[in-house]
Structure 1
């Protein structure tokens, strides 16, 4: 039996460990760090802060028998800039400089910032269940569509989302890397 429920601050190590892999190079931009230990530390700080884009209130966890096997980070496009304020402040407090973070989504979207499944649980449909959950959240929140970005080097990932009903809307540069912007309208 499984459950999908909100994360709590106490889930930070496990949840960030999963989401970090999905973030790829965006995590370096988001933290302005290059050392993996510092990246994880900053991401855990962001996770524990409910006012950030990856704050625990915006992370849902897939659990089986109290074990976290998947995570999805969701937020409304309308909130993106506000959710980045605390991240920018944290970057400044660490002596780094970044004017603004690139907004990956649009108003009206429920944006899938990151989705990850534990390597030991892949191939069991967990990502699909998390996306179905996101679809339900999008409806509940009144979003017009789900959206996400996929690294242009990861064609198999793009094809996976296409099988789930996402369509490619275009390309977007983020952190010096090219991504496909994909959306799934609510019907």
Structure 2
């Protein structure tokens, strides 16, 4: 089952988000220590109004166990959703971070998709992708997009199998990703 996330999911979500986004977590939190980055991601997840917020997430559950999550938002909202991170890092370090805009303004963007290690390979990632695409259609957006790590061939194969096509590359926090898009059949 897929359900909307709540602030109470922060303890579950933070380590998984950190695992999925790696160095991007350091850019967003202004720290280079994994435990500190996870703590900051946890705090941001429990708050409204940022890209990692529970407001932008769904959680996959198996019975009463949380097993995966997806974070998504419209690309036109990137600056607003990244502002809390910029302000946080400026307060912490005295310098604004360089946060690369991953999503284009005309697309519904899958920021993060991650499944707990012991539940991988059981179709949960695909179910989370379907929930993301369903939300894209429900909101009336015509294009879904995501980034896939150049080194993650398994994820790329999954995305291509359901219709995503690469339309460019982008370097985020020192690492290369393929930007992939899929036209969404908009519900009327």
TM-score by length of 1: 0.94
Deviations 1:98-146 (A, max 9, x none): 2542110111211110000011111110000010011110011121211
1:133 match: 131
Matched residue pairs, number? 185
Moved over 3 A (4+): none
Gaps of 5+ in 2: none
1:14-38 superposed Cα distances (whole Å, 9 cap, x missing partner):
0112222111221122222110111
Distance 1:51 1:164, change over 3 A: same
Q: Give the match's secondary structure for 2:93.
A: coil
Contact 2:74 2:107 in 1 (8 A): yes
User: Structure 1 unaligned runs (5+)?
Assistant: none
Residues 32 and 96, structure 1, Cα contact 8 Å, conserved in 2: no
Other-structure match for 1:5:
3
TM-score (norm 2): 0.93
Distance 1:136 1:62, change over 3 A: same
Q: Does 1:143 align with 2:145?
A: no
Aligned residue number for residue 104 of structure 2: 106
Alignment of 1:1-187 (within 5 A): 3-187=1-185
Please list the CA deviations of residues 20-59 of structure 1 after superposition, one character each: whole Å capped at 9, or x if unmatched: 2111221122222110111001111211121100111101
Quickly say closer, same or farther: Cα 1:180–1:7, change in 2 above 3 A. Answer: same
How far apart, CA to CA, are the structure 1 residues paired with 2:22 and 2:97? 21
**How large is the RMSD of aligned CA atoms in angstroms?**
1.3
Give the deviation of 1:92 after TM superposition: 2.0
